């Protein structure tokens, strides 16, 4: 096997792995960057606002439900990413074993 062909195979594997990582990170970055804020992201504070230090805040009542709370995790999406990663890994291992035998 020529050295150039060996290096091109390695470059292809690195490119494939980079594509998989970017494919997993880009949607996550878009999701984190799309935060919605009640005030539209305005962080300016009015200097004329007076705050009463004796203001009492009532705590929220805990709900008595028998199910677990929803935490926002996308279980289906994460499961599909995991299955895809296992599939890509199986293909890479199978291809490397075919080349080793041939």
As a whole number, mean pLDDT of residues 29-52 equals 68
CB-CB neighbours of 20 under 10 Å: 15
pTM tops 0.85, yes or no: no
Which of 4-8, 27-31, 53-57, 61-65 is the most confident on average? 53-57
Give the span between the Cα atoms of 42 and 26, in whole angstroms: 26
Q: How confident is the prediction for the chain on average, in pLDDT?
A: 77
Q: What is the pLDDT of residue 5?
A: 62
Give the span between the Cα atoms of 17 and 15, in whole angstroms: 6
């Amino acid at each position: 096997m020529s050295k150039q062909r060996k290096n091109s195979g390695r470059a292809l594997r690195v490119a494939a792995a980079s594509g998989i990582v970017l494919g997993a990170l880009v949607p996550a970055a878009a999701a984190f960057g799309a935060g919605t804020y009640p005030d539209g992201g305005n962080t300016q504070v009015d200097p004329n606002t007076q705050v009463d230090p004796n203001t009492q805040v009532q705590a929220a009542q805990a709900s008595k439900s028998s199910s677990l709370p929803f935490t926002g995790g996308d279980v289906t999406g994460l499961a599909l990413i995991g299955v895809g990663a296992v599939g890509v890994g199986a293909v890479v291992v199978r291809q490397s074993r075919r080349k080793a035998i041939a």
